[in-house]
Chain A
Amino acid sequence: MDEIQRKLQQNSKATREDHLGRTICYICIGLIIALVTCILYFIASKGIATFTKDHVNVWQFLTTSNWEPTTMDSKGRPIVGALPMIVTSFSVTLLAALVATPFAIGVAIFMTEISAKRGAKLLQPVIELLVGIPSVVYGFIGLSLIVPFIRHIFGGTGFGILSGTLVLFVMVLPTITTLTVDSLKAVPMHYRQASLALGATRWQTIYKVILRSATPGILTAIIFGMARAFGEALAVQMVIGNALLMPKNLVSPASTLTSKLTTDIGNTVMGTLPNDALWSLALILLLMSLFFNMLVRFIGKRGNIKNAS
């Protein structure tokens, strides 16, 4: 009797497997969450040290343009001003997005509205390959083609924001295109039918109906592209010139947050001020990435409300 009772009350093998499997899945997802928390915590605590431990003024850090972490100013505070890098980072990002967006929207319109068949057959692989080319290869091509080209036309060294922009343009193009395609595809078919039935031409339909109703999606696409451009390190580092100067024009050597980080973090000693200041740059990168994320969410929410009402 006890034997049977025990057997009946015991979990079956399938149930135990079920619990085990579920637990494993929970652990995996837990690992990812822990990882994200860890990254945020470590980078933030390292990045803040410049301001808490070394008493650098945050405002001064963001708005002055001298980067000499080993020397002190008259008040005994180290001179670290990240403005040139911040300006350069934002310039290349905005310019790249500005150049890439028309191309991306054009390709996306072609893929969804004009020739869906050829779009899927020809352009989908093109976009995928553009994503697949590693960033160092982009950097190498920039170094051996774009930089000499710009040197030839504008004189100077050829390194600078313009070269960075051109390299980033190709790199963010697939990101913006893919997401724009998704948002154009999400426009309901009856919008198109209604517009065409009213006698609008294809372009009128695209311009006045489809692009308008896909605007939140396209904005999201552009922001994702900008996030990629902002965080891209090596390709930019290879063509930007890495001079810690305020960029005077588009063809003078400059330095972005990411390029400064990649070149210098190995040359400084952990825990010293020059090193801490670099971690603050990493913190800026992290915060910008979070900001782009929030922007996307914000647009997504507003877009949804518009569609619902």
Chain B
Amino acid sequence: MHPKRTDKIATGIIYAVVATVVAILVFLIGYILYNGVPDITWHFLTSQAQSFSAGGGIRDQLFNSLYLLLLTLIISFPIAMGAGIYLAEYAKDNWITDIIRTSIEVLSSLPSVVVGLFGYLLLVNQLNMGFSILSGAIALTFFNLPLLTRNIEESLNSVPNLQKEAGISLGLSDWKTITKIIVPEGLPGILTGVILSSGRVFGEAAALIYTAGQSAPSVSYTNWNIFNANSFLNPMRPAETLAVHIWKVNTEAVTPDAHAISSGSSAVLIIVILIFNLGARFIGNHIYKKMTAAK
């Protein structure tokens, strides 16, 4: 065949492939929103889940997801920050760094169900923490750490070396240079990474089934005593998240309106993740513009 015609045909095929992929995404999002949004009512968002009768809501699950996300970030961000700074600023190019990088890679490629099972073994059983929000948050930290660390390292590495040299030549200590010059400069990238990883954590379920548990005991939202078992803030209570809830109502099939609940919950999940995604873009760009002179 004539090369020019082959070129045309190949280009056409590539266009078709791209169109298919875009269509798949549009269809997925459209399907979820079209089916799910009508199910999202005020009642759905603010009432308790029902196990055996129709009409249950997702109030507790939604709150648990957000609370778990918050705790996970509180635990994982400082560690990832330290590790990211180490890799970007202190790590020498030798075999120790090589081992460290390899272990982070290994951790990030572990299936989330294995991470969840490890959490179950270590936190729930060995450390006797039971199915609890705290176990869940730590398991999610395991899952979140490698990605966040790598993201922070990349953001810090993208800061031009000149900035560091300038700081040091002005007589600042290494630590001051890092905390006052490099980290602020890398902040837009770091924030974007944190928000994107929040989306991932928010939708994660496999690591949570056996750490945060699959039940959502009723809690009181007026009880602010964090140590009270009844309080919504108590980190030692079992907590089913939204993603786990979708999985559970679909696999256990005892709830009569499982389909409506899962389409509604899926739509809520997707909307939250869309917000995270758009937010990451917006905040990243906004801060970048504000902090640098770039347009």
Contacts and interface: CB of A to CB of B under 8 A. Distances in A.
Interface of A: 14-15, 17-18, 20-22, 24-29, 31-33, 35-39, 42-43, 46, 102-103, 106-107, 109-110, 114, 122-123, 125-126, 128-130, 132-137, 139-141, 143-145, 170, 173, 200-204, 206-207, 224, 227, 230-234, 237-238, 258, 261-263, 265-266, 270, 279, 282, 285-286, 289-290, 292-293
A136 B246 contact: yes
14 contacts: A36-B104, A37-B103, A39-B118, A132-B199, A133-B270, A136-B203, A139-B247, A139-B250, A203-B3, A204-B6, A204-B7, A234-B205, A234-B247, A265-B117
B233 interface: no
Given A28-B82, A145-B31, A286 B110 contact: yes
Contacts of B165: none
Interface of B: 3-4, 6-7, 10-11, 13-15, 17-18, 20-22, 24-25, 28-29, 31-32, 78-83, 85-87, 89-90, 99-100, 102-107, 109-115, 117-118, 120-122, 125, 142, 145-146, 149, 172-176, 178-179, 196, 199-200, 202-206, 209-210, 243-244, 246-247, 250-251, 259, 262-263, 266, 269-270, 273-274, 276-277
Contacts of B29: 129, 133
A266 B213 CA distance: 10
Given A32-B149, A202-B11, A25 B82 contact: yes
Contacts of B114: 39, 43, 231, 282, 285-286, 289
A286 B68 CA distance: 26
A37 B178 CA distance: 29
A167 B163 CA distance: 46
Contacts of A279: 117
A132 B145 contact: no
B14 A137 contact: no
B277 A28 contact: no
A21 B178 CA distance: 10
B173 A14 contact: yes
Contact of B112 (A31, A132, A231): A231
B246 A137 contact: yes
A265 B120 contact: yes
Nearest to B6: A203
Contacts of B89: 25
A15 B85 CA distance: 18
Given A110-B17, A133-B270, 13 more contacts: A14-B173, A14-B176, A22-B175, A37-B103, A107-B17, A107-B21, A132-B199, A132-B200, A136-B243, A137-B203, A144-B263, A231-B109, A238-B247
Contacts of B102: 293
A24 B82 contact: yes
A12 B114 CA distance: 47
A134 B203 contact: yes
Nearest to B171: A14
The 3 closest A-B pairs by CB, nearest first: A231-B111, A134-B203, A28-B82
B112 A35 contact: no
Nearest to B88: A25
Contacts of B117: 43, 261, 265, 279, 282
A29 B210 contact: no
A270 B125 CA distance: 9
Contacts of A136: 203, 205, 243-244, 246-247, 266, 269
